[in-house]
Chains A and B, each alone.
Chain A
Amino acid sequence: MIEFLYTNAWGAFIVLLMFQIPFLIVFFHIVNKKAFTDSAPSKTKPEKYSAYRYGWTVLVLVAFVVVNGASIKYMPTVVEANAATDKNVKDVEVTAVSWAFQFSENEFNVGETVRFKAKSTDTVHSFALHHPDGHLLFTMMLIPGAGSESALVHTFTEPGEYTVRCLEYCGIAHHAMKNTFTVN
């Protein structure tokens, strides 16, 4: 479950709702009550306000720490750093230029771990790898002259046709900047 939350963009959507729905319920409840059913000043004691204040701040802090702490393991940057010395990782060079991608290799096997090393030679592009079902596995921004090429590893677990797209607007044929490769 935790793995799904951090490795699929719909996981982000679920966490989004977990924050938003309680907020909406409390907010509308209080506004409704104090605007329509009982707008008289409340008799709540000052100590109670400050208890709520501390409770609420601590709750938010804990939630933020947990959500981010649990995410560290799934950061593509951490995965890439861990794979730095792994000899079994296959390096693939990618060059992005308006409006095409060139790969040094474009056929992979299920179970293979590939390091995509990408750079742009003209303007800002990105290398975005879409799963065959359409969702985004990861994207790397490529700014020309960045000093080093962007690099991330990905282990293919499912066969199919993967699509690489540019997600940084790069001119009048930006949408045509895509390419596919197969995983057997």
Chain B
Amino acid sequence: MSAAINIIDKVPFFGGMFRVESNELNPVNAWPSLIAMTSFIWFAIAAILGISMPAIQFLDLGSNWYYQNITLHGAAMAFPFAFQLMAAMSLHRAGACLGKRADDIFVSLFYIFMNVGALLLTVAVLLGFHVTYTVMFPLPVVGVMTGQWSMFTLVLGFTGIALVLTSMIFIYPIKILRMSFFERTDSTLQVAERSMKDPGMIGMVMGVLVLLVAGTPLMLVAGSLLLHLYGIFPAAWIGWAANPIVFEFVFYIFAHNLMEAMAIMIIGAVYSTLPLCTADGSRKLYSDKIAILALWILLITSVTSFFHHFFTMYPALPSTFAYHGNIMSFATGIGGALTIFTILATIWKHGIIPTPALFLILGGFVMYILDGVSAIIISNVAWNFKLHGTMWAGGHAMVVLIAISALWMGVLYYHYPLMTNRTIDDSTARSCIKYFFISYIGLFYTFLAAGAAGMPRRNGAWESDWYIFGVFMLIFGVMLLYAFVLYFLSLRRSKALDY
């Protein structure tokens, strides 16, 4: 029996969501189930930390708690939750569509690096390493010099980050590329055959290539710094990497493209799942060509739109780059517009069967588009100077992850029977979707309105003018947690399939 199945069986509550029988499909469903289960455990912890943030402000518990919890919340939601959930589902899909095993050394290394790395970072943060998930280099080093946290926490935190980044930038992309192009096909595993011409497969390959290409420079810079911290590289070797401008640029080239890669992958997954839910059984998109064109536009335009993170450094960032970033950010919107068209035209042409899986996917897609609008607005140079550093920016970062996660959770609903031989509980799933969508809308507009009102993000001492936004964050945050609890229950209450 697979080690993954053993672990799932031993985990209380969450294990019950992903119990997998021993069968011939284990190579494509056991590890993905374990990885998905683990991502939801991280979610549960991070959600409580999220809700704690407004609570800390109202109860006046102090800014240190705020900075600790925002660091843990942001890091856990982005990496071991959202990214890990995506990895779980895409490994399962790649396995079942292409007939490749998703239980080899790459998969277990991904799992270990991601989760051990996230745990080390968590310990460092609990010991005082409060740098937020964007690190804000050179803050980690300045913090040691000014006595905000210890050298030990810096080394521990960076080690954790390096493990997480290795899993995302190297191990996972290499595994997906191997499955797509190299490994031997095992036809017993290929239960949902697809070719590499399928928009879903193309989106997946584009996504992992972006991770690999945009992430490698960051790995070089962060790796050099880490080797210096370990005492292996002398200071003279790493001066270039310790330059804040170098670090910030390679960081955002990666971080921006990470979000875009996750978006391209999930749009690919929507393109491959939506046709399975058409009412006329045609299993076709309105047009594969336009779908693929949209993916290409998203890919090409997103690469250089990262300049929008630096508009407000004017004139250190020359205006040309600012305009370029502005235009490219809106150009991603053209990819978005074609995606909207393809999805609506498919629905119009073929009709749809209203299942919870499809509705969570469509709801997630709406969330993604609404968030995309907030993203392009803040990528306009004129508006950026009024919104950068406010809750608008923080809200967009958070909400794009919520949208992407919702989409993967819909895809998970769809493929759950194949993964576990059980069907989800329909009525629980329907109420989950209702609460999910309402709380999403609530959180989204609360953050954007707070940003428009000038509320600073990542601020450990909210001023009373801005408390009102905190009240709504608390209300809708609790509601979102409730929606997730319903999601968990819809899986726990699943029933065995009988053939």
Taking beta carbons and an 8 Å cutoff, which residues of A are in contact with B? 6-13, 15-16, 19-20, 23-24, 26-27, 30-31, 34-36, 38-42, 44, 49, 52-53, 56-57, 60-61, 64, 67-68, 71-72, 74-77, 80-81, 98, 122-124, 126, 128, 130-131, 134-152, 165, 167-176
Contacts and interface: CB of A to CB of B under 8 A. Distances in A.
Contacts of B457: 167, 169
B449 A143 contact: no
Contacts of B377: 12, 15-16, 19
B174 interface: no
Interface residues of B, number: 85
25 contacts: A8-B386, A9-B386, A12-B377, A12-B392, A27-B340, A34-B351, A38-B351, A44-B349, A64-B334, A68-B380, A75-B385, A122-B142, A126-B312, A130-B454, A134-B454, A134-B465, A141-B312, A141-B389, A144-B138, A144-B244, A145-B244, A148-B315, A150-B314, A165-B456, A171-B139
Contact of A42 (B348, B378, B456): B348
Contact of A170 (B139, B280, B330, B362): B139
A7 B460 CA distance: 28
A38 to B, nearest CB: 8
Interface string B141-158: 011001010000000000
Given A57-B334, A80-B314, A123-B138, A10 B452 contact: yes
A151 to B, nearest CB: 6
Nearest to A56: B341
B361 to A, nearest CB: 11
B7 interface: no
B314 A76 contact: yes
Given A8-B386, A49-B286, A13 B340 contact: no
A110 to B, nearest CB: 21
A11 B387 CA distance: 11
Contact of A12 (B286, B311, B383): B383
Contacts of B345: 49, 52-53
A4 to B, nearest CB: 12
Given A77-B314, A123-B136, A143-B248, A26 B63 contact: no
